[in-house]
Structure 1
Amino acid sequence: MTTIDPSLYLKSQQQTRSVDAGSNSMLGKDDFLKILMTQLQNQDPTSPMKDKEFISQMTSFSTLEQMTNMSTAIEKLTQAQNFAPVVKYSSMIGNQVSYEVINENGTVMGAETSEVLAVTKKQNSVELELKNGEKISPEQIMRVSDQTD
């Protein structure tokens, strides 16, 4: 019977990655493939891996790859949403908005209504430019209605 060289064991392998506070120490899909290939190359030819075990490992790999792809897609979506606040509020252009009028002290003075002409992004906030010359924050809006209302 053949024996497996102990230097091939995972615990005998040197760490090729540095692990710091910000890095992810979990195995990725490339690591999983390397382990699977090493296992296949070093299996006993007289007692090969059973079909069920192999299928189970391939299913695990497929699931890992799908989760990695989904994670990447969610990350891209999140980044896209961070750049799209103007697009989010652009549907208000041409509509009437009722909003709270706030003075310099932050006190609500009443409510007014005007048409939204434009949406502007300034630093980390969004401003709605109104037909009456006011510029308001979306948080001030109480009601949005179509021009025909």
Structure 2
Amino acid sequence: MMTSIDPSLLISNKPSTTSTGNSSLGKDEFLKILMSQLQNQDPLNPMEDKEFIAQMAQFSTLEQTTNMSTMLEKFIKTQTQSDSILKYSEMIGKQVEWKATEETGNGIVKSIKQSDTGIILELDNGEEIKNDSITKISKAE
């Protein structure tokens, strides 16, 4: 007696899949793999409760470590920006000279602000200059 193979099971009939570029194993993917593992385990030699709990604990630890790493990166970025503002705040009320490409000038620093490009100093004459264009700092007269 000969049995036929269902054509839908052939590899050539399977739709092609593409990767999204995300190589990390997320919570949903882990749970799908775990469910598949539980469904396809050997009924005569099932997975031990200890093994199941150990896998869940390992995944939970990994997830918490990843979350902590993300939060630490955000904290460091915020702290670095705050440190820059504090460092340059000592320049408020000081006379500065600056040079940018072909232009030079001077003025008294009135305020400091953070921008996407770095620290910006606002001068008493209305000019705004980047911190890296300062050539001299002195007491205001």
Task: Please state which band the TM-score falls in when normalised by the shorter chain.
Answer: 0.5 to 0.7
Query: Are 1:96 and 1:113, in contact at CA under 8 Å, matched by a contact in 2?
Result: no
Q: 1:69 & 1:144 partners in 2: Cα distance?
A: 46
* Alignment size in residue pairs: 122
Query: Are 2:120 and 2:130, in contact at CA under 8 Å, matched by a contact in 1?
Result: yes
> Which letter does structure 2 place at the counterpart of 1:89?
I
Distance 1:118 1:69, change over 3 A: closer
Match of 2:45 in 1: 47
Match of 2:113 in 1: 119
SS at match of 2:108: strand
* Unmatched 5+ stretches in structure 2: 1-13
Match of 2:28 among 2, 27, 30: 30
Q: 2:137 & 2:33 partners in 1: Cα distance?
A: 59
Identity among equivalent pairs (%): 40
Listed one character per residue, the Cα deviations across residues 37-76 of structure 1 (whole Å, up to 9, x for unaligned) are 122233234422224422321122112322443465467x
Match of 2:56 among 50, 58, 66: 58
> Which letter does structure 2 place at the counterpart of 1:130?
L
> Which letter does structure 2 place at the counterpart of 1:55?
I
Match of 1:105 in 2: 102
SS at match of 1:19: coil
SS at match of 1:114: strand
- Output the TM-score relative to the length of structure 2: 0.53
Match of 1:89 in 2: 85
Q: 1:31 & 1:127 partners in 2: Cα distance?
A: 46
Structure number, greater radius of gyration: 2
Distance 1:60 1:47, change over 3 A: same
Match of 1:18 in 2: 18
Q: 2:15 & 2:54 partners in 1: Cα distance?
A: 27
Q: 2:117 & 2:41 partners in 1: Cα distance?
A: 58
Q: 1:139 & 1:35 partners in 2: Cα distance?
A: 53
How far does residue 125 in structure 1 lie from its aligned partner after superposition? 5.3
Match of 1:128 in 2: 121
Distance 1:35 1:104, change over 3 A: closer
> Which letter does structure 2 place at the counterpart of 1:135?
E
